[in-house]
């Protein structure tokens, strides 16, 4: 590991400057702005909203048409009330009209990205340097709430590509220079988890970060094996990517003997909110305007649950304005107990998926198979069902970009993840019905986990 002070003050800032990301400047702004009053923060939101709509009108035809149709003057000051006169947009809008939403000449350039596809609807979109800086700085500030500084040793239990290419190897070197140890959440065999435990003990992290379900699974393994960590520097375990249930929080906390904090975000909107030591989920209000709406696009009352509709204030490369995220959240009328003006989210009800089990017993986060489908053009929706260790069913709703070669790419990609002997039944369908419960589940496994690890799942 690199000395934390060297990573914090030299390597990390140099890396961000090299990548042309204003991350540390944005972090400095966030450290000050979080202490603004709620009214002052909402004035800041309106200033950024005015800049966003002006930019969208100038560079993205699809948004310009909608903004002008709503009667908003893009050259004047825009209020939060003005924003609510715009119709909402959704993932289908972004997929269908994406070419008319992208400002390729945005300062710093645009970069293509895919959503994780955990909603069953993968999306290709573009982002810019400012949006990247917003995400990184927001996460740094949240870590500081827990006493973790940039450059402190961190462990990531995260996904990995099927094969490492040159770019991935460069990222691995970068991670080491930034004191970040990445462990593969897609390779959770008993032997792998034993090795991860040794690596974590050796790393002596200040923070551990990963998918909520993968961390819970690893925690169950640690407890079942009676592994006892000695991690005196560990300040917090941060979970992300899916709901964190109370029994999982307790399980992770017991395994690591540290507090557990949940994060809320998405690839398309970015880092959105994080839990504080006081147990509150605080919105990154400087970068996100959050509305919680019912099915008729009306605001729900405090204490009620609705869909999170977000405006990403730093996403100038491809604006997401009044964007239906598909996540359900509960509105809170609370204020931050530590005196910040940031908005408080009552509760996040994210999407759930199952683990996938490989024939050799390796347990894989659902994203291991989702990653394969999100890379294939023309997939509008999908559902993956693991019936047995060697029998996988894949349903795909194709869109106009679908090509027959997509089938071969999906089958080949899944076999790389799960083994060449697995039988894959891939079918094109017109629609995917919900479960009998009425809920949509996009990765479903009927393969039971080992008894000792069942405590990790709901």
pLDDT at 396: 94
Q: Is beta strand 443-445 parallel, antiparallel or unpaired with respect to 379-388?
A: parallel
Per-residue pLDDT of the chain (458 residues; tens, 9 = 90+): 788 889 898 999 999 999 999 999 999 999 999 999 999 999 999 999 999 999 999 999 999 999 999 999 988 999 999 999 999 999 889 988 988 999 999 999 998 887 655 555 678 889 999 999 999 999 999 999 999 999 999 999 988 665 545 556 667 777 888 899 999 998 889 999 999 999 999 999 999 999 998 999 999 999 999 999 999 999 999 999 888 888 899 999 999 999 999 999 988 899 999 999 999 999 999 999 999 998 889 999 888 889 999 999 999 999 999 999 888 898 888 999 999 999 999 888 766 678 899 988 888 888 889 889 888 988 888 999 999 999 999 999 998 889 999 999 999 999 999 999 999 999 999 988 866 555 567 888 999 888 767 667 65
Phi-psi region of 420 (alpha: psi -120 to 50; beta: other; left: phi over 0): alpha
Which letter does DSSP use for residue 453 in this model? G
Q: Please choose, from the candidates 132, 75, 125, 82, the residue with its C-alpha nearest in 3D space to the C-alpha of residue 100.
A: 125
So what CATH class is 356-456? alpha beta
* Chain CA centroid to CA 32, Å: 25
Alpha-carbon distance 244 to 237, whole Å?
A: 12
Torsion sign across C-alpha atoms 75, 81, 83, 87:
negative
- The residues spanned by each domain of the chain are 356-456
* String of DSSP letters for 307-321: EEEEEETT--SS---
Are 291 and 299 in contact, with CB atoms under 8 Å apart? yes
Q: How many CB atoms lie within 10 A of CB 423?
A: 11
Q: Where are the alpha helices (DSSP H) in 261-404?
A: 367-374
Percent of the chain as helix, strand, coil, to the nearest 5:
35, 25, 40
pLDDT at 247: 87
pLDDT at 198: 97
Q: Please choose, from the candidates 15, 402, 410, 396, the residue with its C-alpha nearest in 3D space to the C-alpha of residue 177.
A: 15
What residues pair up with 385 in beta bridges, in sequence order?
393, 444
Alpha-carbon distance 128 to 436, whole Å?
A: 41
Q: How many CB atoms lie within 10 A of CB 18?
A: 8
Q: Please choose, from the candidates 395, 376, 407, 379, the residue with its C-alpha nearest in 3D space to the C-alpha of residue 441.
A: 395
pTM score of the predicted model: 0.85
10 Å CB burial of residue 175 (0-12, 13-18, 19+) is middle
What residues pair up with 273 in beta bridges, in sequence order?
264, 283
Instruction: Report angle CA 299, 115, 144 to the nearest 5 degrees.
Output: 75
Token pair for 416:
């790389």
pLDDT at 161: 62
Is 324 in a helix, a strand, or coil? strand
Which letter does DSSP use for residue 456 in this model? G
pLDDT at 440: 64
């Amino acid at each position: 590991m690199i000395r934390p002070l060297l990573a914090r003050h030299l390597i990390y800032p140099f890396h961000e400057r090299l990548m042309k990301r204003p991350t540390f400047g944005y972090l400095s702004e966030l450290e000050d702005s979080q202490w603004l009053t709620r009214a002052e923060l909402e004035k800041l939101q309106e200033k950024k909203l005015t800049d966003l709509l002006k930019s969208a009108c100038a560079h993205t035809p699809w948004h310009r048409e909608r903004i002008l149709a709503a009667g908003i003057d893009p050259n004047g000051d825009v209020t939060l009330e003005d924003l609510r006169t715009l119709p909402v947009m959704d993932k289908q809008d972004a997929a269908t009209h994406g070419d008319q939403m992208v400002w390729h000449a945005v300062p710093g350039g645009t970069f293509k990205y895919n959503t994780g596809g955990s909603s069953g609807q993968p999306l290709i979109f573009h982002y810019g340097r400012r949006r990247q800086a917003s995400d990184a700085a927001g996460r740094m500030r949240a870590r500081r709430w827990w006493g973790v500084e940039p450059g402190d040793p961190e462990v990531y239990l995260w996904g990995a590509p099927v094969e490492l290419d040159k770019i991935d190897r460069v990222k691995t070197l970068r991670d080491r220079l930034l004191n970040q140890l990445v462990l593969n959440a897609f390779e959770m065999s008993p032997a792998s988890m034993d090795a991860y435990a040794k690596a974590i003990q050796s790393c002596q992290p200040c923070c551990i970060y990963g998918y909520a379900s993968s961390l819970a699974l690893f925690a169950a393994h640690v407890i079942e094996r009676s592994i006892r960590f000695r991690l005196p520097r560990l300040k917090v375990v941060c979970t992300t990517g899916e709901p964190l249930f109370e029994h999982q929080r307790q399980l992770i906390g017991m395994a690591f003997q540290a507090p557990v904090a949940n994060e809320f975000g998405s690839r398309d909107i970015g880092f959105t909110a994080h839990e504080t030591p006081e147990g509150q989920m605080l919105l990154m209000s400087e970068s996100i305007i959050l509305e919680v709406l019912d099915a008729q696009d009306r605001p729900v009352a405090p204490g009620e649950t609705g869909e999170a509709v977000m405006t990403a204030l730093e996403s100038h490369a491809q604006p997401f304005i009044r964007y239906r995220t598909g996540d359900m959240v509960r509105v809170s009328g609370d204020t931050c107990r530590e005196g910040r003006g940031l908005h408080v989210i009552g509760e996040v009800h994210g999407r759930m998926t199952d683990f996938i089990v490989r024939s050799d017993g390796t347990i894989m986060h659902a994203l291991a198979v989702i990653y394969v489908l999100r890379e294939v053009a023309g997939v509008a929706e999908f559902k993956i069902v693991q019936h047995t260790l060697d029998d996988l069913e894949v349903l795909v709703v194709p869109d106009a970009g679908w090509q027959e070669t997509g089938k071969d790419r999906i089958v080949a990609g899944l076999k790389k993840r799960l083994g060449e002997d697995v039988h894959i039944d891939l079918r094109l369908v017109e629609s995917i019905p919900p479960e009998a419960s009425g809920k949509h589940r996009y990765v479903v496994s009927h393969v039971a986990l080992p008894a000792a690890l069942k405590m990790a799942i709901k």
